[in-house]
Amino acid sequence: METLQIGTITRKVPATWDELKRKQLLGVLGELYSAERPGRRLRLLSLLSGFPQPQLASLHPEILGQLLHLAEWVESEQHRLTAQLLPTIRIPGRHVAERPTTWHGPRESFRNLLFGEFMFADTFFVLYCLHGRPELLDNFLTVLYRPAKRDASPERPDWNGDVRLPFNEHQLETRTPRVAPLPPLEKLAVLTWYRGCRAQLATEFPDVFVAAEEDAGASAKQAPDWGRVLRKLSGEAFGPVGQTAGQPLRLVLAEMQDLAADYQRQKSRSHA
């Protein structure tokens, strides 16, 4: 956080994506993905600082020029969003008499994501990035966000750290239409968060993602087949993919990273 004082008012200004609040994130994305107009940096600074645009614009040009640098990071690729700023989304009722309901998403940095739901989410994410079809984005959201389990509580003996109902791919067809009416900026915010968390995983487990990219590269316009990547790196070490699907994502990736490093070394020796 940076500190900005104008007159007698002092405000904290986020300096990274993870320091944003939900409302700020939606405002920033709305600015970044709208048609570019003059004054974008000033509007971004206003969103980040909370100071009204007219108040900022009234500052001496030299002072304002220095302050505008506080918003530069927003347009940089060096900062990635991994904090979960949309832990819940509001799902509209399917008819007038049905109340809206709350669906819950994963924790920050994919802390409670399982390998099985990651395989589905990542497939829809990559395909949406490649093809841009709205139904792929809705499928992606439906994998990640689900209703809460009944009476979920950290006090219960069966608590596993995840308030969401277990992932079931067979429910995607009936649940996906329910996320279609969500505001586009909320969908974009989840996509932005996922992209940041995925980049974090690729940094932590680079050899796994190299293998996944090789798999995707073998078929144009396709997403990685994570089940095939798993088998390619481990053989039968993990057992059936269906069994591995229920394991924590980061645990599986950590084991895959060790296996992938060996795989890359063997591959390098074979080409030496």
Q: Are residues 31 and 98 in the same domain?
A: no
Q: Are residues 133 and 64 in the same domain?
A: no
The pLDDT score that the predictor gives to residue 26 is: 96
Residues across the chain:
272
pLDDT tens figures, 211-266: 777 766 655 567 878 877 777 665 555 666 667 788 899 988 998 888 877 766 77
Domain membership of residue 106 (yes or no) is yes
Q: Are residues 11 and 135 in the same domain?
A: no
The pLDDT score that the predictor gives to residue 245 is: 81
Instruction: Give the domain range for residue 97.
Output: 88-271
Q: What is the mean pLDDT of residues 103-118?
A: 94
The pLDDT of residue 205 is above 60:
yes
The pLDDT score that the predictor gives to residue 162 is: 84
**DSSP track, 187-253:** HHHHHHHHHHHHHHHHHHSHHHHHHHHHHHHTSTT----HHHHHHHHHTTTT--HHHHTTSBHHHHH
Q: Are residues 10 and 144 in the same domain?
A: no
CB distance 244 to 190 below 8 Å:
no
Q: Are residues 225 and 109 in the same domain?
A: yes
Number of structural domains, the chain? 2
Angle between helices 184-204 and 206-217 (to 10 degrees): 110
The pLDDT score that the predictor gives to residue 197 is: 96
CB burial of 135-148 (b: ≥16 within 10 Å; e: otherwise) equals: ebbbbbbbbbbbee
Domain membership of residue 48 (yes or no) is yes
More confident position, 238 or 206? 206
**DSSP track, 143-183:** HH-EEBPTT--TTSTT--S--BPPP-GGGHHHHHHHHTTS-
Q: What is the mean pLDDT of residues 168-190?
A: 94
Q: Are residues 27 and 123 in the same domain?
A: no
The pLDDT score that the predictor gives to residue 151 is: 80
Domain membership of residue 83 (yes or no) is no
The pLDDT score that the predictor gives to residue 147 is: 93
The C-alpha angle with vertex 177 and arms to 34 and 221, in degrees rounded to 5, equals 65
pLDDT tens figures, 16-57: 999 999 999 999 999 999 888 899 999 999 999 999 999 999
The pLDDT of residue 271 is above 70:
no
Q: What is the pTM of this model?
A: 0.88
Helix (H, G, I), strand (E, B) or coil at 248: strand
CB burial of 216-237 (b: ≥16 within 10 Å; e: otherwise) equals: beeeeeebbbbbebbebbbeee
Name the residue among 190, 178, 182, 24 with its Cα closest to residue 106.
Answer: 190
Query: CA 236, CA 222: separation in Å to the nearest integer?
Result: 25
Domain membership of residue 82 (yes or no) is no
Q: Are residues 132 and 242 in the same domain?
A: yes
The pLDDT score that the predictor gives to residue 93 is: 83
Name the residue among 134, 90, 81, 82 with its Cα closest to residue 113.
Answer: 82
195: its two tokens: 């992209």
Q: Are residues 239 and 127 in the same domain?
A: yes
The pLDDT of residue 65 is above 60:
yes
CB distance 253 to 114 below 8 Å:
no
Secondary structure letter of residue 52 according to DSSP: -
Q: What is the mean pLDDT of residues 179-196?
A: 95
Residue carrying structure tokens 């990542």: 122
The pLDDT of residue 108 is above 80:
yes
Instruction: List, in sequence order, every residue forming a beta bridge with 2; answer none if it has no partner.
Output: 13
Query: CA 20, CA 2: separation in Å to the nearest integer?
Result: 12
- Characterize the bridge pairing of strands 9-13 and 2-6: antiparallel
Q: Are residues 105 and 219 in the same domain?
A: yes
The pLDDT of residue 154 is above 70:
yes
Boundary of a domain, candidates 15, 44, 75: 75
The pLDDT score that the predictor gives to residue 98 is: 80
The pLDDT score that the predictor gives to residue 169 is: 92
> How much is the mean pLDDT over the chain?
87
Q: What is the mean pLDDT of residues 92-102?
A: 85
Query: Please, which pLDDT band fits residue 209 given cuts at 50, 70 and 90?
Result: confident
Helix (H, G, I), strand (E, B) or coil at 74: helix
